Structure formats: structure tokens, C-alpha cells
């Protein structure tokens, strides 16, 4: 991979390779921030993948994508409110 890792979905295998690279860098004395900077990977994204798990213990199965959840719009009007505004025919 070359360039900033942003805005694209990665396979679980690719994610595991990146997690292992960061773990290896940590064993060599680098910080997570330094390793992520070199890999051009957002630290936030790395931690989101880990979901609180220890880097050295994460497996491919832990890194599979889950389908995105539809966002609920809390301020959307209900059907009843819409009918009330538009009026019933």
C-alpha cells in the first residue's frame, strides 16, 4: 500500500497486517502514534478496529467489516405530523 489510508474499506487480512506492523513497531520502541504516522494510518481508525482488544491478540476474525448501520434521523417528522401539516384530502 502506498499513500494515506483513508476513505476506503480494507480487507480483514490487510487490517491484520497493519495492526501487526504497529505492534512490531511498538516492540521496537516506537509509539503507536509514530507507527501510525509512518504507515499513514489514522490512530483513531486503528483503535476502532481493535475495539479494546490487545494488539498482539487480535485475529482476522476480529477485523471483518460489519455492514454500516443506517443512521436514524431524530429530528425527522413522523407520518402523522406530515399529514397534519399537509392536511388530509
DSSP 62: G
**pLDDT reported for residue 75:** 81
pLDDT at 74: 75
Extract the C-alpha cell encoding 41: 494510518
pLDDT at residue number 88: 63
> What's the confidence (pLDDT) of residue 14?
93
Q: What is the pLDDT of residue 3?
A: 58
Distance from the Cα of residue 27 to its chain's centroid: 24
- Angstrom distance (rounded) from CA 71 to CA 34: 33
DSSP state of 41: B
Pair 55, 23: CB distance under 8 Å:
yes
67 backbone φψ class: left, alpha, beta (φ>0; ψ -120 to 50): beta
Mean pLDDT, 10 residues at a time, the chain of 89 residues: 67 94 96 95 93 92 82 80 82
Amino acid at each position: 500500500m502506498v499513500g494515506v489510508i483513508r476513505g476506503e474499506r480494507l480487507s480483514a487480512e490487510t487490517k491484520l497486517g497493519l495492526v501487526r506492523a504497529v505492534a512490531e513497531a511498538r516492540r521496537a520502541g516506537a509509539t503507536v502514534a509514530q507507527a501510525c504516522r509512518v504507515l499513514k494510518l489514522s490512530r483513531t481508525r486503528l483503535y476502532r478496529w481493535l475495539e479494546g482488544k490487545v494488539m498482539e491478540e487480535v485475529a482476522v476474525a476480529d477485523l471483518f467489516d460489519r455492514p454500516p448501520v443506517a443512521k436514524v434521523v431524530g429530528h425527522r417528522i413522523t407520518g402523522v405530523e406530515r399529514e397534519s401539516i399537509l392536511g388530509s384530502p
